[in-house]
């Protein structure tokens, strides 16, 4: 197969378009290690992620303007970011490279914290910071480290600019989904490249209009151990705090239940019943009977009371914790390579909450709308807690049957 054939095959398998120079190196790896071209490319990418600040150093100067896509330096820098370790925590890349072990996540996040402090140009800082923040699942574990990086100097550009800089790699990915090749994306003009993602642009416009002093209401889904306090005596949040919020209250349900022991079981129940819900949602009796039969099969019991199952938490938990499904779940997560995720999934004593907060627009770091999350990224020190509530069974149901139904993805928009 010729070089163009290899390029097409790797794009199809890995979602990456490699340059001629990269393909030469991949072929060398293929021949020296006796690998097929796809495995050789994966090996090449693994080695590539070891790179440090040096791959960005030539761009890190006062003249760099990553919001001017008409400049060749800008295009080269964005492409470098997209192909570097900065993009190695995205779910798409993780799946393509079969990277699930904790060593990969630790490698990238440690690399980030060591490199980002060397970056001088604010445009480059936000492009790296934003991508890592958006693709790292457990930012709260390193909350203070992420916070200390955002200095007054880093905030010395507008919220709108910080937002577009923080989303540059995602904007590139959006354009690749739409135009299908780096060459076409490279030839886009500045306006088409930056502003082709309509749902993202609309969200940014809505938040950025008005005054920096405007106060907006935001929400956060979080989890806290049942024995822990959420607020201190001064009404400051001391557990479950983080840097990610949203203006869409319903979206917090997912983040408030994600990784919970109970959720990992319940998600199977309602995910498998979407078709039944759509088919019978106008006939509640029929729908509940269908679900009851499925519950009986799931738990291998004929004496299940569905009404009690929906209303009585202890009854649900007794069924779940005694079930074979629970044992299967424990076995699955016992074998989980990513230890932090395993521990979260096996934690039975945490409870999910929805918190309501207010924040001034001037204190927001940047915005994100990956998967229509309408995310507000801001220091927990800058938000004021208004109230919080436990996520109920009805909230679980709402997320699984309603929110997913209206969920809009940028993948749909890009086609």
Tell me the per-residue pLDDT of 158-167, one tens digit each, with 9 for 90 and over.
999 999 999 9
345, 360, 387: which is the final residue of a domain?
A: 345
**Do 187 and 69 sit in the same domain of this protein?**
yes
**Do 70 and 190 sit in the same domain of this protein?**
yes
Residues 75 and 79: their CA atoms lie apart, in Å, by 6
Within-domain flag for 341: yes
**Do 255 and 266 sit in the same domain of this protein?**
no
Within-domain flag for 15: no
Mean pLDDT of 280-306: 86
Residue 94 near residue 185 (C-beta atoms within 8 A): no
**Structural domain that includes position 319:** 261-345
Within-domain flag for 255: yes
Distance from CA of residue 296 to its chain's centroid?
Answer: 35
**Do 146 and 169 sit in the same domain of this protein?**
yes
Q: What is the mean pLDDT of the chain?
A: 84
Predicted pLDDT at 49? 47
Within-domain flag for 35: no
326, 345, 364: which is the final residue of a domain?
A: 345
Domains held by the chain: number: 3
Q: Pick the more confident residue, 77 or 98.
A: 77
Predicted pLDDT at 264? 62
Cα-Cα end-to-end distance for the chain: 30
**Do 184 and 119 sit in the same domain of this protein?**
yes
Confidence of residue 103 (pLDDT cuts 50, 70, 90): low
Residue 126 near residue 165 (C-beta atoms within 8 A): yes
Parallel/antiparallel/unpaired status of strands 215-225 and 384-390: unpaired
Q: Which tokens belong to 40?
A: 């050789």
**Do 220 and 178 sit in the same domain of this protein?**
no
The top-scoring range by mean pLDDT among 43-47, 135-139, 208-212, 223-227 is 208-212
Global pTM? Answer: 0.79
Range with the lowest mean pLDDT among 88-92, 197-201, 311-315, 397-401?
397-401
Residues 371 and 31: their CA atoms lie apart, in Å, by 40
Q: What are phi and psi of 369, to 5 degrees?
A: -135, 30
**Do 170 and 275 sit in the same domain of this protein?**
no
């Amino acid at each position: 197969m010729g070089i163009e054939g290899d390029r097409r095959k790797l794009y199809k398998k890995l979602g990456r378009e490699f340059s001629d120079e990269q393909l030469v190196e991949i072929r060398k790896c293929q021949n020296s290690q006796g690998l097929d071209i796809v495995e050789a490319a994966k090996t090449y990418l693994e080695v590539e992620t070891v790179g440090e600040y040096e791959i960005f150093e030539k761009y890190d100067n006062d003249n760099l303007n990553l919001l001017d896509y008409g400049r060749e330096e800008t295009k080269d820098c964005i492409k470098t970011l997209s192909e570097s370790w900065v993009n190695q925590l995205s779910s798409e890349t993780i799946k393509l490279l079969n990277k699930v072990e904790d060593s990969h996540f630790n490698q990238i996040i440690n690399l980030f914290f060591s490199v980002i402090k060397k970056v001088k140009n604010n445009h480059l800082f936000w492009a790296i910071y934003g991508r890592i923040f958006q693709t790292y699942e457990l930012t709260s574990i390193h909350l203070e480290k992420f916070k200390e990086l955002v200095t007054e100097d880093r905030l010395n550009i507008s919220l709108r600019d910080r937002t577009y800089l923080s989303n540059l790699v995602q904007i590139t990915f959006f354009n690749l989904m739409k135009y299908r090749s780096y060459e076409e994306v490279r030839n886009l003009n500045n306006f088409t490249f930056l502003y082709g993602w309509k749902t993202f642009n609309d969200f940014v416009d809505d938040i950025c209009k008005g005054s920096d002093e405007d106060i907006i209401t935001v929400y956060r889904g979080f989890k806290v151990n049942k024995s822990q306090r959420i607020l201190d005596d001064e009404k400051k949040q001391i557990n479950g705090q983080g840097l990610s919020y949203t203006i869409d209250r319903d979206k917090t349900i997912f983040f408030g239940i994600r990784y919970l022991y109970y959720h990992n079981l319940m998600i199977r129940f309602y995910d498998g019943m979407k078709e039944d819900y759509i088919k019978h949602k106008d006939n509640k009796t029929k729908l509940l009977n269908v679900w009851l039969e499925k519950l009986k099969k799931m738990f291998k019991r004929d004496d299940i009371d569905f009404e009690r199952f929906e209303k009585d938490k202890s009854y649900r938990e007794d069924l779940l914790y005694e079930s074979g499904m629970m044992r299967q779940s424990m076995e699955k997560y016992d074998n989980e390579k990513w230890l932090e995720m395993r521990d979260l999934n096996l934690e039975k004593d945490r409870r999910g909450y929805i918190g309501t907060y207010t924040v001034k627009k001037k204190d927001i770091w940047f915005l994100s709308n990956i998967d229509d999350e309408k995310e507000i990224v801001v220091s927990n020190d800058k938000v004021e807690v208004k109230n919080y509530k436990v996520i109920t069974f009805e909230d679980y149901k709402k997320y699984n049957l309603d929110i997913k139904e209206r969920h809009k993805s940028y993948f749909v928009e890009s086609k």
